[in-house]
Structure formats: C-alpha cells, structure tokens
Amino acid sequence: MASERAKELAAKQKAEMKAAKLAKKTSQDPKDWGWFKQITQTVKMTVSSDPESKWWLIGAGLLGLIVVSAIGFFLEPWWMYLIMGVMAGVIAAMYTLVWRAKKATYKRFEGQAGAAEVALGMLNKKKWSYTSPVTATRQMDVLHRAVGQAGIVLIGEGAPSRVKTLLAAEAKKHEQIVYGVPVTTIVMGDGEGQVPLNKLTSYINALPKKIRKLQITETNQRLRALDAARPKIPMPKGPLVAPKGANKALRGR
C-alpha cells in the first residue's frame, strides 16, 4: 500500500515538474526566460524597431574579432588570440546590443503618455527608487517621481503650460510632507528647457547628491503616506499610446 502511494506521489511530482517546465518554456514573462532566449528576443525586438542595428551588431562583432586576432599573427600562440578574438567580438556585440536596444526602446515609446517610466526603469535600483505614475490628469498630463541621494525628483510630461502648474503644486505638497529634502522638477519633452526621453536617465544620474542614504528610507515612508491619501489614478501603469493629435503636446512645444 505504501509502495503504491509512493509511486503515485512520485508520478504527481514528476507531472508537476513537467508542467512547471512547460509553463516556463512557453512563458511570455522575460523573468522566466533563459539568458539565451533573453538575448535572442532582445535582438529580434531591437532589429524590428531599428533595422540599422543589425549592421551595427555585425560590425562590432567583426571588429573585435579582427583586431584581437590580428595581434596573434605577430605573437605566439596564434590560436589563443583567435579564441580571444571571438570572445572580444561577442563582448563588443553585446555592448552594442545594449546601446542599440536602449535607443530602440526610447524610439518605440517616444510621444506616448507615461513614457518617462521607460527611462526611470533604467535607473540603478540600488541608488534610486521610483513611482510611476504618481498622478495624472484627464488631459493625459502625467507626473512621475524618483527618490535618491539627489532628493526627490518630480518628472512631468504633457502640455508644458499645464505640466509646470502640476509640478509646482506637487513640489509644494512634497516639501510640506518631507521637510528639508530638496525637490527637483523636470519637464520631459523636446522643447527649450525640457529634457528629452532618451536623456532623462543620464540627466537624473548627474544630479548632485544632497541627502544621506539613511534619509532615503525615511523619505520613502513619508511619501507612501502622501500617496495613500491620493485618489486612484484612472490609467494603467506604463507607457500608453497617446490619442490622435496628442503627440505634439507630449513632446513639448
């Protein structure tokens, strides 16, 4: 009897493992993918959005291979440099893929409401935390927030005139809740005095440090209390396709 139960349990566990493996294999969540599938999918998406990136990847790989392998003609053993050349080509192609993938991602989401979240997602998670969106208006003006040693950074996107008013009101709220922590406001867009989507990450990273790391935790705790008092935002997270005619406003005038 015990033997039969053991067999049934073993069969059940085997079926569960097989089902889990199949679910992971067919999953659309990148977290469930292996490194090889992640790379191939990234290449496909990048080339689809940016056809020129294919030649950049090939060129970078060949350049790394040729440069390092060429050194082997003058040194011994030459075959070791050939192997090193292949490795150098792969590394060069990988760095190029990251660069072009970021560029393609920015291009894909540029002009969409909530696009700033793409740039915020590329911040170093050990140095920055972000909330996206914090609030939004019926006119699709969206406000995001990042918190790090530079203090509180509020990013607004939408029609510049409305966004500046929204940023000013939110900056005042944040200063009252988290006294002594500096608040920086940014209008995302392509106009004068605005920060484009593809430069937003580097712009935030370049902000000077103004608070200690210990203050970041306390700041986030107080901000959670502020957010809890807000009404629910009637829009899903992440970039949204803007309605016809709204792209110009989102890019800034």
Higher pLDDT, 31 or 187: 187
CB atoms within 10 A of CB 119: 28
Work out the pLDDT band at 184, boundaries 50, 70, 90: very high
Cα-to-chain-centroid distance, residue 144: 14
CA distance 150 to 155: 14
Omega of the bond leading into 196 within 30 degrees of 0 (cis): no
- pTM (predicted TM-score): 0.66
Summarised one tens digit per residue, pLDDT across range 62-101 is: 888 888 888 877 777 777 888 888 898 889 988 888 888 8
173: pLDDT strictly greater than 60: yes
Q: Write out the two tokens for 230.
A: 């807000």
Q: Write out the two tokens for 134.
A: 């914090």
Tell me the H-state helices in the chain.
2-26, 35-49, 53-71, 78-109, 116-120, 160-177, 197-205, 213-228, 247-251
Q: Write out the two tokens for 251.
A: 């890019």
Summarised one tens digit per residue, pLDDT across range 20-44 is: 666 666 655 556 567 667 777 778 8
234: pLDDT strictly greater than 70: no
Closest listed residue to residue 155, CA positions, set 216, 114, 122: 114
Q: Quote the crossing angle between the two packed helices 35-49 and 53-71, to the nearest 10°.
A: 120
pLDDT score for 253: 34
